[in-house]
Structure 1
Amino acid sequence: MTDPSPPPGAADIMTVVHEAVGGLELEPAEKRDIWRFTQQELPYLWSQRTSYFILGSYRDPYIRRLRAVQNELTKQLGAYPFIMGDLLELPTDRLNTFDIMFALLATYSDYIVGVFEKESGGEAPELGEIDDPPYFAKSYVFPRDYAWVTDAKLESEQHVIQAALELAFTDELSADAAHSKIESLVERAHDAGINITTDDVWDVLDDRLADEEEPATYSWVHLNKFRTFELHDRCFPWTTEDELRTVVEELPSPTPRPEWEVSED
């Protein structure tokens, strides 16, 4: 096989790679593998299409939600949504290939989309990467069952759904007691000016109970990171897969070019 030659922008690419590996000296074979990866995968990010780098857990059933986001974005003309697990993998054994691939893809993607349903797994360090520069300005998060903890507790429909999920999955409560508390919860929501009905709540709860999908839980660190995105209008909570498909529409469309890119011109 012919050795790949350095691609356009090789110096900038190697700057990203060296930062990802902590300044380690690369062996010739490792450089060739990196050039091969960049020549195969980065042209899609340099094309006229708008790229969306989708992050999240690859385990079932979580991967289904990543595919749902990918499918919704694929419907948009000019969009290139992708998941790193589908791409060519660097074969090197010595280096941390995840760090290299992630850094290159995150750097050259137009947008980064994180789908979160739990606090453990590979998506946890990914969240820690995208909440700071240079990736924060292009990143959006979609945490399941997330609602920022406030003294008022009920400030949105998502607060009501989160509270109802916790009641529905509380082992200490009987089914009748859970129903009664959820009805009281909806009444308090109405008093707080939140437009949600008992049927709305149970539409969500019935699906989750049938699938035995308990409420997503997050550490205080996760909640604070989600809150940072929320304050920048780039956090979109969801509860069901259908709702996730709907809130994907909140992402920037393939045109115009992303604000983070325009601001750097």
Structure 2
Amino acid sequence: MAKIPESTDELTDFILNDILYRLDLDPVDSERLLSYMRDRHEHLFGPHSTYFVLGSYEPPFKYRLDEALDVLNHRHNAYAYLLATQPNLDVSDDIPDLKVKFFLHALYADSIPLILEHDTGGAVAEFGRVERPTLLDRTYLFPRAQDEHYDDDSLLTTQDSILARAVELAYHADDLEEELDVLAERARDHGLDISTQDLESYLESELGGRTPSYSGVITDSLVHLDSLDQCFSWTTTEELEEQLSNVP
């Protein structure tokens, strides 16, 4: 389906044909799904703008989702939320309730910001789902360190810029340890008391010990969203907050 279901019959057809595929939906489960939507009506169909925020729930990445919620909820008449905070579906065990719950919320959100920091976990599955025509027009992707901004020595004059460059190196460097040594030396050249160990500790706190990367499948989709002006790279949390202004 290329358009948002506008009636209960269209919604039921969408669930059966686009989400559940060859699974059957018995009358009890069908009524429970419709009841779920009625219960969420005030939140999803009110006079406010709704923002269905997607991304990794793992620490420390969940911190960025919380920041995005805070930024978007400060808008006038805005309701930004995560899937995890929404009530669960009460359906039969053979129904993929989390998948159905995801689409029920995504279908009726005004905008879907997706914050991407690595290419594993639930956020990647969500990325695949929002590329459907039904959702793509309302999806705004925020990949971390897709682009490099701080590789110019003239920009590396403050502690914040040095730390931002360390994050970019974590994504792009072939030999991260060597590159961090060079970066720490640049910091000292600019009178900043930052060691390689300081940079490693910072990356541990930002990335949770993960070596971040994006697979070729992910980067190919990034190109697609970028061509649609719906992809906005960021490195620091402050940059993410600024980039969220691109979500209508």
The CA distance in 2 between the partners of 1:169 and 1:125, in whole Å, is 29
1:72 aligns to what?
71
Unaligned regions of 5+ residues in structure 1, if any? Answer: 1-7, 148-155, 184-196, 253-265
The CA distance in 1 between the partners of 2:226 and 2:48, in whole Å, is 27
Cα 1:159–1:13 shift into 2, 3 Å: farther
Deviation at 1:223, TM superposition (A): 0.9
SS at match of 1:25: coil
1:138 aligns to what?
138
Task: Identify which of 210, 227, 231 aligns with 1:231.
Answer: 227
Number of residue-to-residue matches in the alignment: 219
SS at match of 1:134: helix
The CA distance in 1 between the partners of 2:20 and 2:224, in whole Å, is 28
Cα 1:216–1:24 shift into 2, 3 Å: same
Cα 1:36–1:59 shift into 2, 3 Å: farther
The CA distance in 2 between the partners of 1:29 and 1:87, in whole Å, is 21
Deviation at 1:159, TM superposition (A): 6.8
CA RMSD of aligned residues (A): 3.0
| AA of the residue aligned to 2:116 | F
1:157 aligns to what?
149
Task: Give the 5 Å matches for 1:74-89.
Answer: 74-89=73-88
SS at match of 2:84: helix
Task: Give the 5 Å matches for 1:217-228.
Answer: 217-228=213-224
Q: What is the percent sequence identity of the aligned residues? A: 23
1:123 aligns to what?
123
The CA distance in 1 between the partners of 2:41 and 2:30, in whole Å, is 15
The CA distance in 2 between the partners of 1:126 and 1:178, in whole Å, is 35
1:61 aligns to what?
60
Cα 1:22–1:49 shift into 2, 3 Å: same
- Is the Cα contact below 8 Å between 2:51 and 2:78 reproduced in 1? yes
TM-score by length of 2: 0.76
Cα 1:176–1:102 shift into 2, 3 Å: closer
SS at match of 1:51: strand
- Is the Cα contact below 8 Å between 1:16 and 1:104 reproduced in 2? no
| AA of the residue aligned to 1:110 | D
Task: Give the 5 Å matches for 1:130-209.
Answer: 130-147=130-147, 157=149, 161=165, 164-165=169-170, 166-167=172-173, 170-171=176-177, 173=178, 176-179=181-184, 208-209=202-203
Pair 1:240 & 2:236 matched: yes
1:251 aligns to what?
247
Cα deviation 1:178-203 (Å, max 9, x = unaligned): 445x68xxxxxxxxxxxxx998xx9x
Task: Identify which of 6, 10, 13 aligns with 2:11.
Answer: 13
Unaligned regions of 5+ residues in structure 2, if any? Answer: 1-5, 153-164
